Amino acid sequence: MTPSSPEPKAALLGQLYELFRRKGYDGVSIGDISAETGLGRSSLYHHFPGGKAEMAQAVLAFTRTTMEANFLAPLSSDAPLPARIGAMLVAVDRAYQSGEGPCVLAALLSASDDGPLSAGLAQLFQDWAAAIAASLTQAGVDAAEARRRAITALALIQGGLIIARGLKDRSAFAAALAAANATLVRAAA
């Protein structure tokens, strides 16, 4: 209803996304967010009356949107399997800056055991795994094997981010992505 704000929230959501991703749920404070966005505390609570928890859920919804557009959509094209997988992995490499920073899903997972975020996170991981598996079954891979490979690939992506950051060696993320690609495109079991 307020005509002055078509969608200023989009930029704000992007800033929240980056903050939660880099510092984790517990590591980011309202003061951090206020400093980063230039908005006062009360302005933030105007947009998110539920406070930090509501901000995290908004970030999760934002993540779902961008993930569906960047990771899942390429998997549904009618291109050959290697092209579909390659497109997803290129998007993943870009989204995570070649291993520079953490994944927002892992960052939110740290503090969400049985919290309200937990269900949404599980659904997002599940949808990602299902989209990869569906892409494999369409190429003739057995369903159970497709799910195993999808989970292996997701573990390689997430673990690759951790190892690259732990080792301070971004090439470890590239190696993990290469392994994920090999797992997903090798001949049907």
Partner DNA sequence: GTCTATAGATCGATAGAC
Partner DNA sequence: GTCTATCGATCTATAGAC
Contacts with DNA, residue ranges (CB under 7 A): 2, 4-5, 8, 28-32, 38-43, 45-47, 49, 51-53
End-to-end CA distance of the chain: 55
Report d(CA 86, CA 180) in Å as an integer. 10
Q: Kindly state the smallest distance separating residue 84's Cβ from DNA, in Å.
A: 40
| Residue with Cβ nearer a second copy (83 or 167) | 167
Identified binder of a second copy from the candidate list 39, 134, 179, 181, rule CB under 8 A: 179
Residues 93-122 close enough to bind a second copy by CB under 8 A:
102, 105-107, 109-111, 113, 118, 121-122
User: Residue written as tokens 């993930």?
Assistant: 67
Report d(CA 41, CA 30) in Å as an integer. 7
| Residue with Cβ nearer a second copy (13 or 117) | 117
Residue 109 interacting partner from DNA, a second copy, none (CB closer than 5 to 8 Å by kind): a second copy
CB 121 within 8 A of CB 105: yes
The token pair that represents 88 in the structure block: 């997803």
Q: Kindly state the smallest distance separating residue 10's Cβ from DNA, in Å.
A: 12
Identified binder of a second copy from the candidate list 87, 95, 129, 134, rule CB under 8 A: 129
Strand segments (E) across the chain: none
Residue 151 interacting partner from DNA, a second copy, none (CB closer than 5 to 8 Å by kind): a second copy
What does the radius of gyration of the chain's CA atoms come to, in whole angstroms? 18
| Residue with Cβ nearer a second copy (23 or 47) | 23
CB 128 within 8 A of CB 154: yes
User: Residue written as tokens 């800033």?
Assistant: 15
Report d(CA 73, CA 163) in Å as an integer. 27
The footprint of a second copy (CB under 8 A) covers 23-24, 26-27, 102, 105-107, 109-111, 113, 118, 121-122, 124-126, 129, 148, 151-152, 154-160, 162-163, 165-168, 172, 175-176, 179, 183
